[in-house]
Amino acid sequence: MTAAVPAVNPVLRVAPAAPAEAAAHFRASLAFHADVSDVAAGLAAGTDPGFVVLDSRSTAAWDQGHIPGAVHLPTALIPEQAGDLLDRSVPVVTYCWGPGCNGATRAALALAELGYQVKEMLGGFEYWVREGFAYETWEGRENRPADPLTAPATDADCGC
């Protein structure tokens, strides 16, 4: 006869961190990341948002669509061109295609190594478009309806 193996809750297989350790982790995460809605709100305020948005994708991707007012600087060109395009005293928010791409992370790393203050925009261009924010292509400004699975259900923010 074999003994029954107790079921293990997959969420709690590894115990959560102590509250102080968890708070430190999540506080640090907010120092490194911004979300699409917060970036959009900062840009829409009508004044200098205090940061610049950097699209680290290829020229072909940039031409398909990018955040209005963003600086285009592919990751591979950051070491040689960042000094000509960016002011080191202004924080930079990087983005790439979407959550399945780490191009914005690589761009943020390259900028940090050059002495820039930098955050990565979670969700990238994909979530910018999915949340219904205007974007620009080589043909002009465009907008798609917000995806109800990614954008708040009302005109108000999601409450988070």
Domains delineated in the chain: 32-142 (3.40.250.10)
DSSP string, 66-109: B-TTPEE--GGGHHHHHHHH--TTS-EEEE-S-TT--HHHHHHH
- pTM score: 0.87
Work out whether the CA dihedral 115, 118, 124, 125 comes out positive or negative: negative
Residue 136 CA: distances (Å) to CA of 95, 117, 126 = 15, 26, 13
pLDDT of 73-122, one tens digit each? 999 999 999 999 999 999 999 999 999 999 999 999 999 999 999 999 99
Give me 140's structure tokens. Answer: 């002009």
**CA distance linking residue 94 with residue 13, whole number of Å:** 35
Residue 51 has pLDDT above 70, yes or no: yes
